[in-house]
């Protein structure tokens, strides 16, 4: 894709750096980490060493403040190589942006410089066993007692929860208040009463740990509350408006990897005396796949550029970008397997991993059904 006409020189340099690191130091480990379901230590270290962990952090806190589009560009390149590593990478701004946008100066000074260097790792914990798409239906409670809040309950689907040093945890001061009771807290590793629970065995992104979190009379200082009581739902949703374009970019990366693999294989695989790429049926499949990827990338870049332009009411575009890109990744990855035929169904080639990884793109950070509800609401509300 010729995007040079709207990317700045800095954005192109960041993308090219991410592409080099992803292809030389992340991609070679992807199959091994996926097969073993191990944390991608070498891949994460490569990204940290390259300085890519700080691109979303303002310069005054030790980052490079490159913006949302740059973050999306990096996420696409990493996901092309390994979607699990990209998920881990994006979890840093997912857990850090609430601090940047809603934290006190003391909280920002304490956490952001070390998040920018990768010294600290962050996570974001909103979902619960009974509150997934219904994010306002939290049951984990936070009761204030003096200069502490006491948290009780369980969270689920927390990416990086077992490796994070600080987790933005959403709890409620009163379940009956629904969204108006949700409050955000900065929970640190090792706080008494906080424990990491079951690690999920997943179909895809298997090198990215997804765990349950448990709170049993966990005392969190009032100084660790993020924003005001009842402001947590707003914090959660506004954070997702910023990260959803980057999530969409990960889907684009998976789709591009699947398309690249399918094109290469169609050129080299011969049947009936010629390359399968010579058959119109395959050509039309590849053309449709390319259009899906191209459209997804343009939607993602548009939503990301809105964030960089200071547009905060971009829920409509962010949801469309995430939804379209997630669906495109699944369609393109599935079609890539079809191009490969029986070989695509084996682990000899990476396209089966692309399909497994693509499926989560339709589910996390808000299912694509929820994205459609959001889009419809934006359309129909005056």
Alpha helices (H) in the chain, listed in sequence order:
9-21, 27-36, 41-49, 68-81, 83-102, 105-117, 232-268, 280-308, 315-340, 351-360, 368-380
Kindly report the backbone phi and psi dihedral angles of residue 207, in degrees, each rounded to the nearest multiple of 5, phi listed first. Answer: -85, -5
As given in the structure block, the two tokens for residue 71 are: 């973050």
- State the burial class of residue 126 (Cβ atoms within 10 Å of its Cβ: 0-12, 13-18, 19+): buried
Distance CA 308, CA 302 (A): 10
Q: What's the pLDDT score for residue 1?
A: 58
Q: For residue 272, what are its two tokens?
A: 């009936």
Q: What tens-digit pLDDT sequence spans the chain (382 residues)?
A: 566 688 999 999 999 999 999 999 999 999 999 999 999 999 999 999 999 999 999 999 999 999 999 999 999 999 999 999 999 999 999 999 999 999 999 999 999 999 999 999 999 999 999 887 888 889 999 999 999 999 999 999 999 999 999 999 999 999 999 999 999 999 999 999 999 999 999 999 999 999 999 999 999 999 999 999 999 999 999 998 889 999 999 999 999 999 999 999 999 999 999 999 999 999 999 999 999 999 999 999 999 999 999 987 789 999 999 999 999 999 999 999 999 999 999 999 999 999 999 999 999 988 999 999 999 999 998 6
CA 263 to chain centre: 27
Show Cβ contacts of residue 284 under 8 Å, excluding neighbours closer than 6 positions: none
Would you please indicate which residues are annotated as catalytic (active-site) residues?
Answer: 365
Both structure tokens of 150: 């006491």
Helix/strand/coil for 139 = coil
> Cα-Cα-Cα-Cα dihedral of 263, 265, 268, 273, to 10°?
-100
The pLDDT of residue 157 is 95
Its pTM stands at 0.95
pLDDT of residue 3: 67
Q: How far apart are CA 201 and CA 184, in angstroms?
A: 28
Contacts of residue 184, Cβ cutoff 8 Å, sequence gap at least 6: 98, 102, 168, 169, 170, 225, 226, 227, 231, 232, 235, 236
pLDDT of residue 115: 98
CA distance 100 to 189: 20
How far, in Å, CA of 35 to CA of 282, rounded? 30
Q: Which DSSP letter does residue 24 get?
A: I
Q: Is there a contact between 116 and 123 (Cβ–Cβ < 8 Å)?
A: no
d(CA 35, CA 15) in angstroms, rounded, equals 28
> What's the rounded Cα separation, in Å, for the pair 261 and 335?
11
Name the DSSP class of 201: -
DSSP code at position 131: B
Distances (CA, A) of 25 to 125, 208, 251, 309: 29, 17, 20, 33
pLDDT at 241: 87
* Residue 306 Cα distances to 243, 294, 310, angstroms: 12, 19, 7
Rg (CA), the chain: 21
């Amino acid at each position: 894709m010729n995007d040079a006409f709207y990317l700045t020189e800095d954005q192109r340099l960041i993308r090219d750096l991410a592409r080099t690191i992803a292809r030389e130091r992340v991609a070679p480990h992807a199959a091994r980490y996926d097969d073993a379901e191990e944390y991608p230590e070498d891949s994460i270290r490569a990204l940290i060493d390259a300085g890519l962990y700080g691109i979303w952090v303002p310069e005054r806190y030790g980052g490079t403040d490159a913006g949302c589009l740059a973050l999306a560009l990096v996420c696409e390149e990493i996901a092309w190589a390994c979607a699990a590593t990209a998920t881990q990478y994006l979890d840093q701004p997912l857990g850090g942006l609430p601090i940047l946008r809603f934290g006190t100066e003391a909280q920002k000074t304490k956490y952001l410089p070390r998040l920018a260097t990768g010294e600290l790792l962050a996570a974001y914990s909103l979902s619960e066993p009974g509150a997934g798409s219904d994010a306002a239906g939290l049951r984990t409670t936070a009761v204030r007692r003096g200069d502490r809040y006491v948290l009780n309950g369980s969270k689920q689907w927390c990416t990086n929860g077992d490796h994070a040093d600080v987790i933005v945890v959403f709890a409620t001061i009163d379940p009956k208040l629904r969204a108006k009771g949700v409050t955000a807290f900065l929970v640190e590793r090792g706080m008494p009463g906080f424990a990491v629970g079951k690690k999920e065995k997943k179909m895809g992104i298997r090198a990215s740990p997804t765990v349950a979190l448990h709170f049993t009379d966990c005392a969190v200082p009032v100084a660790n509350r993020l924003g005001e009581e009842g402001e947590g739902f707003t914090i959660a949703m506004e954070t997702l408006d910023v990260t959803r374009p980057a999530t969409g970019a990960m889907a684009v990366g998976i789709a591009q990897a699947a398309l690249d693999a399918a094109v290469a294989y169609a050129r080299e695989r011969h049947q009936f005396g010629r390359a399968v790429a010579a058959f119109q049926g395959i050509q039309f499949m590849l053309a449709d796949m390319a259009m899906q990827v191209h459209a997804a990338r343009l939607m993602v870049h548009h939503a990301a550029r809105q964030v960089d332009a200071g547009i905060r009411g971009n829920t409509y575009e962010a949801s469309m970008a995430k939804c379209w890109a997630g669906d495109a990744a699944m369609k393109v990855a599935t079609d890539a397997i079809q191009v490969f035929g029986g070989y695509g169904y084996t682990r000899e080639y990476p396209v089966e991993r692309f399909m497994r990884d693509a499926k989560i793109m339709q589910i996390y950070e808000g299912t694509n059904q929820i994205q459609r509800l959001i889009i419809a609401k934006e359309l129909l509300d005056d």
